[in-house]
Amino acid sequence: MSDFQEYNKNNLKSFTLFDNENGQSYDVPIIEGSEGPKVLDIRDLYKKTGMFTFDPGFTSTASCSSEITFIDGHKGILRHRGYDIKDLAYHSNFLEVCYLLLHGELPSQEDKSKFQNVITNHTMLNEQLVYFYRGFRRDAHPMAIMVGVVGALSAFYHDSTDFSDINQRMIACHRLIAKIATIGAMAYKYSIGQPFVYPQNHLSYSENFLHMTFSLPTNNYKVNPVIAKAMDRFFILHADHEQNASTSTVRLAGSSGANPFACIAAGIASLWGPAHGGANEAVIRMLEEIGDVSNIDKYIEKAKDKDDPFRLMGFGHRVYKNYDPRADVMKKTAHEILEELNIKDDPLLKTALQLEEIALKDKYFIDKKLYPNVDFYSGIILKAIGFPTSMFTVLFAIGRTVGWISQWKEMIEDPVNKIGRPRQLYNGKNSRSYEEVNRREKKSIFQWLWKK
Ligand code: ACO
């Protein structure tokens, strides 16, 4: 952060904007990060010109500076704190990646053990929270339960909501990373009417999650190491992805001073949407709907048809205009899992592979740079492990919690932090006078509602 502030102070380079209307020019400072595109520092633009910038969807706007994750979408690069995602996915483990995201460095052996201890000692939930689950209908979507229960944590852990205190801040981070897996497993157990299973501290993060999800009081689930490895990889691949919709939601909520549990609940709500975390669920539904490889051409045509709302789920990304490196790891892991579980000729995998092959050769997808994203193969892995589709986004949320909380912590500790408050291009009515109801013209706005 300090380099960029120094650079900005010296104002070494600038970009000139010219206003044709009044013949004035404005110099906008250019800031350079350690990698990636330079940015125009427009913080003074409104003060100097009386104008806002217009960028719906933030396609050209950096909302913050961050040291956590770097993406080069054109080259298909994703790095956390400088480490390539594939190195982390193949050689590290989820808790080590959590430490890296949170603290900026990979842990020493001693710190790794201490961190593991801290997390495992926070995996249990306040027993009172069990009653909170009972307030939900059994057929509630587990993401609805996640939003509610995570938001409710702030009512249970008052001793970690004063984030101006570094100790409370760290305890909140540890609690969220540890408890989110327990909350997710309990949401699943509740939805299928089975008793909750308590965490086991001798297991790794991913083994413990599988145990809490699949064990029964009558039958202990024996964790298969290949499945545990795949689960761990899934969590690593979802751990962070810079300023995506849910992370930006967490940062925006946090910028007002909201407590970390409430901020993560907001992030979970944002993740739920099918254009974001809900896509892995949508991919499976789509592959099932396609049903057979003989139908692929028809669905490719539907995806290309502007008048058809159908999109190829698991394809395309706001940032990646090349193969998503996470999709590559997911594809390999899907093969490993199906082989381990002796699932031969899985029809979904067969359809997915064919679909990918055809789409990657199609001019529409080539021209628009639409490649498989992380969600394209992840559903196949999760389904083979035994998760119902309604749990897929929950699993994403479990992996992403560390990214959200690391980004939240970075924001809180950033001296430049300000409440997030975008402006708008107002396009509504100009000033007009209030009219009494009997003088108003009959309008048909609610025709569809009244049906009369
Ligand atoms: N199938 C067919 N056409 C597509 C697809 C797709 N999956 N994705 C984008 N396009 C087309 C759009 O119709 C648009 O065409 P146009 O230029 O002719 O209007 C063009 O490609 C650009 O698409 P946008 O929606 O403008 O791109 P944006 O960056 O806003 O959207 C998104 C990215 C939301 C991921 C989009 O590609 C999509 O909806 N994909 C399917 C859902 C999905 O897989 N989401 C998961 C994202 S990854 C994650 O959250 C972990």
Given the residues 80, 238, 317, 362, the one annotated as active site:
317
For residues 49 and 37, the answer to whether their CB atoms sit within 8 Å is: no
pLDDT band for position 1 (cuts 50, 70, 90): very low
Q: How far is the CA of 116 from the centre of ligand 1 (A)?
A: 38
Q: Of the residues 287, 320, 370, 377, which should be mutated to test ligand 1's pocket, given the most ligand atoms within 8 Å of the CB?
A: 370
CA distances (Å), 411 to each of 4, 16, 32, 158, 313, in order?
16, 30, 19, 21, 32
The response to whether residue 330 sits with its C-beta less than 6 Å from ligand 1 reads no
The response to whether residue 303 sits with its C-beta less than 6 Å from ligand 1 reads yes
The response to whether residue 399 sits with its C-beta less than 6 Å from ligand 1 reads no
CA distances (Å), 251 to each of 254, 271, 278, 444, in order?
5, 14, 20, 40
Task: Report the DSSP beta bridge partners of residue 69.
Answer: 80
pLDDT band for position 447 (cuts 50, 70, 90): low
When pLDDT is averaged across residues 340-347 and rounded to a whole number, the result is 85
Q: Annotate 38-107 with DSSP letters as a single string.
A: -EE--TTHHHHHS-----GGGTT---S--SSEEEETTTTEEEETTEEHHHHHHHS-HHHHHHHHHHSSPP
Q: How far is the CA of 315 from the centre of ligand 1 (A)?
A: 7
Say whether pLDDT at 2 is over 50: no
When pLDDT is averaged across residues 134-153 and rounded to a whole number, the result is 95
The predicted-structure confidence for 208-231, as pLDDT tens digits, reads as follows 999 999 999 998 889 999 999 999
Give the span between the Cα atoms of 378 and 126, in whole angstroms: 32
Give the pLDDT score at 345. Answer: 80
Q: How far is the CA of 363 from the centre of ligand 1 (A)?
A: 16
Active site residue 141: no
Residue 67 CA, distance from chain mean position? 17
Give the pLDDT score at 445. Answer: 67
Q: How far is the CA of 334 from the centre of ligand 1 (A)?
A: 24
114 sits in which H/E element: helix 109-120
Say whether pLDDT at 414 is over 70: yes
CA distances (Å), 189 to each of 37, 138, 151, 222, in order?
46, 10, 19, 17
Give the pLDDT score at 9. Answer: 58
Say whether pLDDT at 440 is over 90: no
Give the pLDDT score at 318. Answer: 86
Name the residue with the closest Cα to ligand 1, atom 11.
Answer: 368
Give the span between the Cα atoms of 271 and 360, in whole angstroms: 27
The predicted-structure confidence for 280-329, as pLDDT tens digits, reads as follows 888 999 999 999 899 999 999 999 999 999 999 999 998 899 889 999 99
Looking up tokens 């297991």 gives 203
Name the residue with the closest Cα to ligand 1, atom 9.
Answer: 316
Active site residue 19: no
Amino acid at 100: L
The response to whether residue 286 sits with its C-beta less than 6 Å from ligand 1 reads no
Q: Please, what's the b/e burial string for 235-264 (b: 16 or more CB within 10 A of its CB; e: otherwise)?
A: bbbbbbbbbbbbbbbbbbbbbeebbbbbbb
Give the pLDDT score at 34. Answer: 95
Q: Indicate the burial class of 332 (C-beta count within 10 angstroms; 0-12, 13-18, 19 or more).
A: middle
For residues 356 and 388, the answer to whether their CB atoms sit within 8 Å is: no
Q: Does the global pTM surpass 0.85?
A: yes
Give the span between the Cα atoms of 365 and 60, in whole angstroms: 22
Give the span between the Cα atoms of 247 and 8, in whole angstroms: 26
The predicted-structure confidence for 260-280, as pLDDT tens digits, reads as follows 999 999 999 999 998 888 888
For residues 332 and 272, the answer to whether their CB atoms sit within 8 Å is: no
Give the pLDDT score at 13. Answer: 86
Q: Of the residues 308, 313, 317, which should be mutated to test ligand 1's pocket, given the most ligand atoms within 8 Å of the CB?
A: 317
The response to whether residue 375 sits with its C-beta less than 6 Å from ligand 1 reads yes
When pLDDT is averaged across residues 383-391 and rounded to a whole number, the result is 92
209: helix, strand or coil: helix
Task: Report the DSSP beta bridge partners of residue 26.
Answer: 17
Say whether pLDDT at 168 is over 70: yes
pLDDT band for position 51 (cuts 50, 70, 90): very high
When pLDDT is averaged across residues 79-95 and rounded to a whole number, the result is 98
- How many residues appear in the chain? 452
CA distances (Å), 299 to each of 296, 309, 315, 357, in order?
5, 12, 13, 14
Give the pLDDT score at 240. Answer: 98
Question: Which of 212-219's residues contact partners 24+ apart within 8 Å by CB, and which partners?
Answer: 212/181, 212/182, 212/185, 212/186, 213/184, 213/185, 213/188, 213/189, 213/387, 214/386
29: helix, strand or coil: strand
Mean of pLDDT over the chain: 92
What one-character DSSP code corresponds to residue 219? B
